[in-house]
Structure 1
C-alpha cells in the first residue's frame, strides 16, 4: 500500500524520477510492516506410499524378460524444501521435492543380472547401469545366503528385517520423484536370469524324478507364474510335447511325427467255442489331429524393448 501512495506522491512532485524514489521508499515501508513477499510452490498433503496387494504370485523367470515386479517394502515419502530469492525486498519462493525408498521383488528364483529399467515407459536405468534420476540402486540376486539389505535393516531393526533369501529383488534408496509427479512410478525391469535354459530347468525341483531335457528353440525368455501344467500346455502349443507319466520317472520329450508305417502283429483269434475273446492282443493308432491348431502367437520382441507383438500362421 505504501508503495502505491508514495509512488503517486513522488510522481506529482518530481515526475518519473520522484515516482521511482517514492516506490523504492514505499516498498521498504511495506517490507517493514508486512514482511517481504513470499510464495510457495506445490506441496503434497499426503506422504504415505501406496503398497502392493497381498496374495500376488511371485513368478519364476528364465532367460531374458521384462517384468513389473511387486513392491514388498517402502517408507513414507521424504519431503525437502528450498527457499530461493527474498533479498532486497524481492519475492522469495519455497519449492518442495520428494524422495522415496522402497524394495521391489522381481523373481522367486535367483537371477544372474539386471539390465535396463523403465519408469512410466521412460528409461530410468541404461545399459551401462546408470540411473537417470538421483538416488541409489542395490540388487539382490536371490541366492540362499544373501544378507539383509542395509537400508531395510536400519529402518526395521534386526529382529524384524528378513533377508528375503531365494528371492531376487532391488532396493531404491532416496529415489528423486520430481520427474514422476512426486509418486512412485510404474516400473518394469529387464531381468537376465539365464544365458540359456531348457525344459528341465523350467521343471526344476517342482517335479521329482523327471526326465525333461528338451531344448526350447526360439525361446529367449519365459515367465512361470501359475501351475506347472499350464506352463507345459503353453509350451506344447509352440513346441508339441509328449508326456509319459511312468511308474517311476516322468518323461517329457518332443513329439515326433510318424515317418514310416507301423507293422501290426497277427490278430489274436479265439480258437475255442466257449472263449469270450482273444487271450492276448493290443492295438495302435495314430495321434488325433489337433482340434484347434495354433493360428497366432503373441510374444514380446526383445529387439524393440520387449514390446508385445503378434505372429499369424
Structure 2
C-alpha cells in the first residue's frame, strides 16, 4: 500500500518541479523514487515474500503385508499376487531445495522430498520363471525402471 501512495506523492512532487532530466519528466522520476521508498516500507511491514513450500513429504509409510505366520501362495501358471516383505532397509529421505533468492518476480523457496528403500519380497513357494509386471498403489510400474533383482528360488 505504501508503494502506491508514495509513488503517487512522488509523481505529484516531481511534476511540480517540472523540467526533464535525461529525457525523463520530473513526474516520472518522482514516481520512481516514491515507489522505491514505498516498496522498502512495504517489505519491512509485510515481509519479503511467501513462506517456503514443502512438497512430497511423507509422514507415515505403509508397506505391503509383513505378518508372521501368513500363508505362502502356490501359483500354477500366471497370476497377480501380493508378496510378503521379508526384509526392508530404513527409508532414505532426500530433500531438494529450489527457488528463493532474487528474481523478477522472486520464486518461493520450494523443498521436494523423495524416498528410497530396499526390500526383499517373498512371492510364492517354488521356482518362479519371471516377474512380468510390478504394481504399486494400483499403478503398473515398468520393471526396467527399478533396480530389481529376481531370485527364482531354485
Interval of TM-score (by shorter of Structure 1 and Structure 2)? 0.5 to 0.7
Query: Is the 8 Å Cα contact of residues 74 and 102 (structure 1) preserved in structure 2?
Result: yes
- Structure number with greater CO (CA < 8 Å, separation at least 6) is 2
- Are the structure 2 counterparts of residues 51 and 73 from structure 1 closer, same or farther at C-alpha, using a change threshold of 3 Å? farther
1:204-223 map, 5 Å: none
The gaps in structure 2 that reach 5 residues or longer are 13-27
Quote the residue 1:21 is aligned against: 36
TM-superposition CA deviations, 1:207-264 (whole Å, max 9, x none): xxxxxxxxxxxxxxxxxxxxxxxxxxxxxxxxxxxxxxxxxxxxxxxxxxxxxxxxxx
1:142 Cα deviation from its structure 2 partner: 0.8
- Are the structure 2 counterparts of residues 112 and 39 from structure 1 closer, same or farther at C-alpha, using a change threshold of 3 Å? same
TM-superposition CA deviations, 1:159-185 (whole Å, max 9, x none): xxxxxxxxxxxxxxxxxxxxxxxxxxx
**Cα distance in structure 2, aligned partners of 1:119 and 1:50:** 9
User: Structure 2 residue aligned with 1:81, among 92, 95, 110?
Assistant: 95
Quote the residue 2:17 is aligned against: none
- Are the structure 2 counterparts of residues 63 and 107 from structure 1 closer, same or farther at C-alpha, using a change threshold of 3 Å? same
Quote the residue 1:124 is aligned against: 141
1:86 Cα deviation from its structure 2 partner: 0.9
The structure richer in strand per residue is 1
Please, what TM-score do these two structures have when normalized by structure 1?
0.36
1:10 Cα deviation from its structure 2 partner: 2.7
TM-superposition CA deviations, 1:99-143 (whole Å, max 9, x none): 332121112211121211222332113xxx423xxx411111112
1:54 Cα deviation from its structure 2 partner: 0.8
Please, what TM-score do these two structures have when normalized by structure 2?
0.65
**Cα RMSD between the aligned structures?**
3.3
1:1-313 map, 5 Å: 4-14=1-11, 17-18=31-32, 20-22=35-37, 24-26=39-41, 30=44, 37-42=50-55, 43-46=57-60, 52-88=66-102, 90=106, 91-125=108-142, 129-131=143-145, 135-143=146-154
1:6 Cα deviation from its structure 2 partner: 4.6
The structure richer in helix per residue is 2
The gaps in structure 1 that reach 5 residues or longer are 144-313
- Are the structure 2 counterparts of residues 50 and 69 from structure 1 closer, same or farther at C-alpha, using a change threshold of 3 Å? closer
Query: Is the 8 Å Cα contact of residues 6 and 35 (structure 2) preserved in structure 1?
Result: no
**Cα distance in structure 2, aligned partners of 1:47 and 1:68:** 17
**Cα distance in structure 1, aligned partners of 2:135 and 2:38:** 53
**Cα distance in structure 2, aligned partners of 1:64 and 1:138:** 19
Q: Secondary structure at the match of 1:114?
A: coil
- Are the structure 2 counterparts of residues 49 and 123 from structure 1 closer, same or farther at C-alpha, using a change threshold of 3 Å? closer
